[in-house]
């Protein structure tokens, strides 16, 4: 382990160490970070040993600019806007990875966090190395945030010290919060649309209030109520955030004579209301990573058990819902914003 002060040669010295798969502790705008060549598997393994954490926990990487970032991750429009407004700066932007870094750097579901530092030294090192370096704090897991080299060294074992090859000492850093992490992967358009859903007897109504929306749900319920218990009834709801999908489901529950409070299932993924034969299962597919995840939430059993379901963000899991086109009654409902503040255009139909 060598400790050097910052000078003109610092970046060159750091690059030499990184090229050999070594670990370098360096100052960033938020705290001391520890860098390894993010494309070198052995270097990453060494880092994981230093951090004293199990293999598989991901690392963010530092790159020089957006162009370099795009070699390693797919940027969607949300990410591109964020790069434009917030980078370089103390922000980590998470996108889908392209699997071009060493194993163990991307998360287990293939996402990768990107940093573009506004500290010159960091950018210089990455530029000279021509590869991204890991951007993780230099403390071991569950230890104090390191604002000085002493903070690092006082909180690690002799064994860990031996794993560090080089420390760039820039003195005490101003005490700042760690970088803000923004996850853009749920906005991936790829997962958003699964093709047009063809409907028969498409109907449309204008709702002027939440009460109106609930009443439309009630009318729809009355239309299909006779099938209850004999076939599964699925209300597949589509519509932007704030369009009224939960409000619609409240109407359904009221029509079914369920008194329990119906709330958004975004967080819980699934809510269940009612008792006995009158039960409503309320799903939210917004946070699901793929349609097949509906199976692990017990969707198939509910369909086979002829239950009543309301599914928000149904277009995200339409392929799974449509597998039951023949056995279940599937009512596709779309809620769109209208002209007036409280106006919604509600259209529905049964899938062909």
Partner 1 sequence: MKILSIDTSCDETAAGVTENTRVLSNIIWSQAFAHAKFGGVMPSLAQRMHEERIDWVIEKAIRKSHTKFENLDAIAVTVGPGLSIALGVGIDRAKKLSLKYNKKLIAVNHLEAHVLSCFAQPKTSKVSVPKPKFPALGLVVSGGNTILVKIKKIGSYEILAQTADDALGEALDKAARMLGLGYPGGAVLEKMAKLGNPEAYNLPTPIQGQENRKIFTYSGLKTAMSRLIESEKPLTKQKIYNLSSSFQNVAFSHLIRVCSHIFRSGESEYASLLVGGGVSANIELRKRLRKLGKETGIKISFPYSQKLTGDNAAMIGVTAYFKAKQGLFENPTKLDRKPNAKIND
Q: Does 269 bind partner 1 (CB under 8 A)?
A: yes
Number of residues that bind partner 1 (CB under 8 A): 58
Minimum distance of partner 1 from residue 80's CB (angstroms): 10
Q: Does 319 bind partner 1 (CB under 8 A)?
A: no
CB 13 within 8 A of CB 4: yes
Tokens of 238: 């589509």
Minimum distance of partner 1 from residue 321's CB (angstroms): 17
Minimum distance of partner 1 from residue 93's CB (angstroms): 8
Q: Does 145 bind partner 1 (CB under 8 A)?
A: no
Measuring CA to CA, which residue among 301, 308, 304 is closest to residue 273? 308
Q: Does 241 bind partner 1 (CB under 8 A)?
A: yes
Q: Does 129 bind partner 1 (CB under 8 A)?
A: no
Q: Does 293 bind partner 1 (CB under 8 A)?
A: yes
Torsion of the alpha carbons at 153, 156, 160 and 163, rounded to the nearest 10: -30
Q: Does 113 bind partner 1 (CB under 8 A)?
A: yes
| Contact pick of 196, 267, 275, 276 for partner 1 (by CB under 8 A) | 267
| Contact pick of 175, 261, 276, 326 for partner 1 (by CB under 8 A) | 261
Q: Does 271 bind partner 1 (CB under 8 A)?
A: yes
Q: Does 341 bind partner 1 (CB under 8 A)?
A: yes
Non-local (6+) Cβ contacts of 260 within 8 A are 253, 273, 274
What is the spatial distance between Cα 344 and Cα 58, in angstroms, rounded to a whole number?
43
Half-sphere exposure of residue 316: CA atoms within 13 angstroms, side-chain side: 21
β-sheet with 278-284: strand ranges across: 199-207, 344-351, 329-337, 233-238, 308-312, 278-284, 270-275
Phi-psi region of 89 (alpha: psi -120 to 50; beta: other; left: phi over 0): left
Size of the chain, expressed as the number of residues it contains? 352
Minimum distance of partner 1 from residue 17's CB (angstroms): 27
Minimum distance of partner 1 from residue 201's CB (angstroms): 29
| Contact pick of 153, 163, 170, 182 for partner 1 (by CB under 8 A) | 182
Minimum distance of partner 1 from residue 203's CB (angstroms): 23
Measuring CA to CA, which residue among 121, 119, 131 is closest to residue 69? 131
DSSP assignment string, 35-75: E-BTT-HHHHHHHHHHHT--TT----EE-SSHHHHHHHEE-
What is the spatial distance between Cα 169 and Cα 175, in angstroms, rounded to a whole number?
16
Minimum distance of partner 1 from residue 255's CB (angstroms): 18
Peptide bond between residue 88 and the one before it cis (omega within 30 degrees of 0) = yes
Minimum distance of partner 1 from residue 291's CB (angstroms): 11
Site mask for partner 1 (CB under 8 A), range 297-316, x = bound: xx------------------
Minimum distance of partner 1 from residue 113's CB (angstroms): 6
Q: Does 229 bind partner 1 (CB under 8 A)?
A: no
Quote the DSSP letter at residue 315.
Answer: G
Q: Does 347 bind partner 1 (CB under 8 A)?
A: no
| Contact pick of 7, 9, 54, 120 for partner 1 (by CB under 8 A) | 54
Q: Which 76-95 positions form the footprint of partner 1 (CB under 8 A)?
A: 78, 81-82, 85-86, 92-94
Residue 315 CB burial class (10 angstroms; 0-12, 13-18, ≥19): buried
Q: Cα 94 to the chain's mean position, in Å?
A: 8
Which residues make up the interface to partner 1 (CB under 8 A)?
54, 57-58, 60, 78, 81-82, 85-86, 92-94, 107-109, 111, 113, 142, 177-178, 180-187, 210, 240-242, 244, 246-247, 261, 263-264, 266-272, 287-290, 292-293, 295-298, 337, 341-342
């Amino acid at each position: 382990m060598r400790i050097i002060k910052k000078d003109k040669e610092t970046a060159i010295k750091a690059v030499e160490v990184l090229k050999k798969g070594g670990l370098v502790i360096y100052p960033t705008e938020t705290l001391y970070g520890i860098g390894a060549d993010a494309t070198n598997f052995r270097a990453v393994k060494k880092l994981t040993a230093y951090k004293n954490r199990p293999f598989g926990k991901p690392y963010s990487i530092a790159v020089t600019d957006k162009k370099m970032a795009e070699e390693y991750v797919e940027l969607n429009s949300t990410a591109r806007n964020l790069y434009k407004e917030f980078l370089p700066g103390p922000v980590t932007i998470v996108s889908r990875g392209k699997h071009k870094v060493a194993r163990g750097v991307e998360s287990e579901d293939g996402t990768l966090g990107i940093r573009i530092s506004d500290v010159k030294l960091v950018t210089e090192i990455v530029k000279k190395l021509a590869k991204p370096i890991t951007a993780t704090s230099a403390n071991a897991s569950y230890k104090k945030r390191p604002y000085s080299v002493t903070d690092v060294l006082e909180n690690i074992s002799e064994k860990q010290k031996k794993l560090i090859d080089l420390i760039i000492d820039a003195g005490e850093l101003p005490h700042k919060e760690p970088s803000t992490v923004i996850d853009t992967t749920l906005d991936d358009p790829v997962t958003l649309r699964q093709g047009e859903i063809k409907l028969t007897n498409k109907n449309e109504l204008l709702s002027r209030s939440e009460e109106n929306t609930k009443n439309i749900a009630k009318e729809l319920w009355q239309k299909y109520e006779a099938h209850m218990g004999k076939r599964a009834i699925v209300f597949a709801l589509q519509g932007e955030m704030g369009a009224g999908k939960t409000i619609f489901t409240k109407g359904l529950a009221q029509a079914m004579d369920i008194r329990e409070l119906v709330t958004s299932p975004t967080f819980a993924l699934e809510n269940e209301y009612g008792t006995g034969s009158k039960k409503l299962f309320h799903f939210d597919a917004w946070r699901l990573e793929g349609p097949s995840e509906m199976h692990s939430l017990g969707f198939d059993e509910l369909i086979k058990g002829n239950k009543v379901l309301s599914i928000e963000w149904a277009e995200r899991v339409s392929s799974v819902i449509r597998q039951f086109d023949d056995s279940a009654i599937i009512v596709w409902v779309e809620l769109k914003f209208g002209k007036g503040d409280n106006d919604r255009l509600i259209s529905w139909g049964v899938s062909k």
